[in-house]
Structure 1
């Protein structure tokens, strides 16, 4: 075959529709770029705004009263009770308002068990309920009743995420959080057919079926003694998550170097964060563990487990970014 003909054929193959369909465009996020940029140098301050959704900035405003500055990260929840489901629009409106102010937006979802009813409660008929092994298998089986019920649950929150997409809001999206936490109906199932499979199914449905491209996927686990094994056993496929977050609630070992090293290893170069905590990390901890890109305190527990002096000291540390300081960074 002549060299000229070879070149023509190669060019034709390169630009053919078949080849083009195989190349998936990579969605860029300024929020994710920011986290890569500050990793090792700075950390975003944050707090969650626990129910009710009628007051979706309550704890963010409390931090402002305490420190004189707003946190850089605002967080909300779709939740599960009737009154909070009814107020989801207020939470989403607040998310848009916070984004326009320059805040990083984090949203989670304590979802009701698809085998039971919605709304539900914080009990064994709701978020703290269980699925037996047969129900779990059915949940993961495409076209089954439980699989379709889970998709209907996602159908209910997808329009709100689409609103955020239309408004240009990038969302740190943290569904099925604390995968290794067995008290939740979705958690405590390690391995390829466990909780991580449900996370992957959820990812595919929201991105492929609902066409959501504004979600930055947060894989989240809790700091149990089994953390080293859990960081492997609950790890979704690499294409399914962007950030690894650790929830710190074990007061006996707190922000140990061992936990930090496990999470860094599991993240394999992706950003890591403190997804939830009741005790805020100290400035000294953040200096020793510089790769954390944000910390998010859990609403009222922040004020139960930290003094106002400790909160002020943390938010005034040069490593910690408040909203005002975040807005000075070019993104």
Structure 2
């Protein structure tokens, strides 16, 4: 029996047992537990997603309406016997949505306690009106539009419309405060699909366009002290528009996760997959909205997505999904569902000491230099600080206060290794494999000694994984 088949088989048996237990009114077979211990931070969550890159995917489901924020995650359970790893809610904009926001955030807390990561979207009304409704058509959100002059007023600090938007943001504060007080990090996706003009906030490229409102939103809520928000930037897979995605990107300092909504196609085209990697600059990427549950084969073909989230009732639309298709993905051994997420926290100690490789030589910071860009090489072990590495639970490997880094976010064979200021990018993420290799998920390649040379000063690189001894490393105990 293959490992993948055995994992799927065991998951299917567990799911059947869970479904039977639920049907009989019993408790879940395993005690619920949050995805991370107390003290987890936003940075811990970001690093966790970075570590998933190229390795695993979290399942996800958008739920609603706000009056029933478990309707579609329960349907996932009915189909698979499992719950999604990412639970999605929405602030919403109708009066009914607003009246039931507390239900949404009660469920966000319950989802976290049960082992899922909460994710919140916001279909917001233009700040000229108190409520609005989604009605479809070419102008789907009734009463929500701004002229160019009104938009310029909105994104200009201190103007009446700008102030009105900040008062609208104030409505979110009590809810985010509840999560912060409970120690719960949350994925927040404001101004989603900002590259399309169906929404009043979308379809405006450039520095003072849609991305400016994202920047204003983030700055305002961060200024309120919400260090538990993971900032999710989002665009839609518009045909022929992958090349213009940069016109909407608010900048690396504003974005934690880079996400795509897939509605033009069932699964991202290669040009969109590449565009999202390019704009992310090594940050984790994900599918924030899909209609069809991605198949295991599709996820394997585009392995750098870190989660997907099926949009509400699309889960059961026959032109998008079948029960067997949903099961196949949830049961795949690489897909992580509720209860299978374990986020390490930065408070956990790392392992510190030398990293040894081919010929018994040590991984070494050349000349014990501390400048960004200093080469990392192979050298006789000498016990100095230049060879004392801390293998962190956040996926980093550090020496001399810097991080082991793939030069220039490179992904090609032969890209050299250096040290650089730690910045949370994919160029600084490393996974210790059972083979003894150290893998950089962003590139999909492993730490390598060129040609297996054992000469002092041989600079390390990344290379395709193979069976050569010079890709095997012994880490600190």
* TM-score, normalized by the shorter chain, greater than 0.5: yes
Alignment equivalent of 1:290, drawn from 285, 303, 315: 303
CA contact (8 A) 2:95 2:131 kept: yes
Alignment equivalent of 2:258, drawn from 226, 233, 244: 244
SS of the aligned residue for 2:333 comes to coil
5+ residue gaps, structure 1, are: 1-26
Q: Which position in structure 1 is the counterpart of 2:43?
A: 29
Q: Distance in 2 between matches of 1:310 and 1:189?
A: 37
Q: Which position in structure 2 is the counterpart of 1:326?
A: 341
Q: Distance in 1 between matches of 2:251 and 2:278?
A: 15
Q: Distance in 1 between matches of 2:167 and 2:311?
A: 29
Q: Does 1:65 align with 2:91?
A: no
Q: Which position in structure 1 is the counterpart of 2:234?
A: 220
Tell me by how many angstroms 1:29 deviates.
Answer: 2.9
CA contact (8 A) 1:255 1:281 kept: no
Q: Does 1:190 align with 2:205?
A: yes
Q: Which position in structure 2 is the counterpart of 1:49?
A: 63
Tell me by how many angstroms 1:146 deviates.
Answer: 0.6
Q: Which position in structure 1 is the counterpart of 2:283?
A: 270
Distance 1:275 1:233, change over 3 A: same
Q: Does 1:119 align with 2:131?
A: yes
SS of the aligned residue for 1:131 comes to coil
SS of the aligned residue for 1:121 comes to coil
Q: Distance in 1 between matches of 2:309 and 2:142?
A: 21
Q: Distance in 2 between matches of 1:282 and 1:245?
A: 18
Q: Distance in 2 between matches of 1:108 and 1:70?
A: 19
Please report the TM-score for the alignment, with normalisation by the length of structure 1: 0.87
Distance 1:312 1:330, change over 3 A: same
Tell me by how many angstroms 1:213 deviates.
Answer: 0.9
How many residue pairs match? The answer is 300
Tell me by how many angstroms 1:119 deviates.
Answer: 1.6
Distance 1:291 1:243, change over 3 A: same
Q: Distance in 2 between matches of 1:177 and 1:102?
A: 25
Say which structure is richer in helix: 1
SS of the aligned residue for 1:325 comes to coil
RMSD: 1.6
Distance 1:191 1:318, change over 3 A: same
1:211-240 CA distance string (max 9 Å, x none): 111100011000012432332100102100
Distance 1:88 1:28, change over 3 A: closer
Alignment equivalent of 1:139, drawn from 129, 140, 154: 154
Tell me by how many angstroms 1:28 deviates.
Answer: 4.6
Q: Which position in structure 2 is the counterpart of 1:306?
A: 321
CA contact (8 A) 1:127 1:184 kept: no
SS of the aligned residue for 1:246 comes to strand
SS of the aligned residue for 1:326 comes to coil
SS of the aligned residue for 2:171 comes to helix
5+ residue gaps, structure 2, are: 1-40, 346-477
Alignment equivalent of 2:331, drawn from 298, 302, 316: 316
Distance 1:69 1:187, change over 3 A: same
Tell me by how many angstroms 1:170 deviates.
Answer: 0.4
1:157-192 CA distance string (max 9 Å, x none): 111111111111101110000010101000000000
Please report the TM-score for the alignment, with normalisation by the length of structure 2: 0.61
Q: Does 1:153 align with 2:168?
A: yes
Q: Distance in 2 between matches of 1:64 and 1:127?
A: 35
CA contact (8 A) 2:237 2:268 kept: no
Q: Distance in 1 between matches of 2:218 and 2:82?
A: 35
Distance 1:38 1:64, change over 3 A: same
1:192-219 CA distance string (max 9 Å, x none): 01000111011111111x2111100011
Tell me by how many angstroms 1:155 deviates.
Answer: 0.5
SS of the aligned residue for 2:76 comes to helix
Q: Point out which structure has higher relative CO (alpha carbons under 8 A, 6+ apart).
A: 1
SS of the aligned residue for 2:68 comes to coil
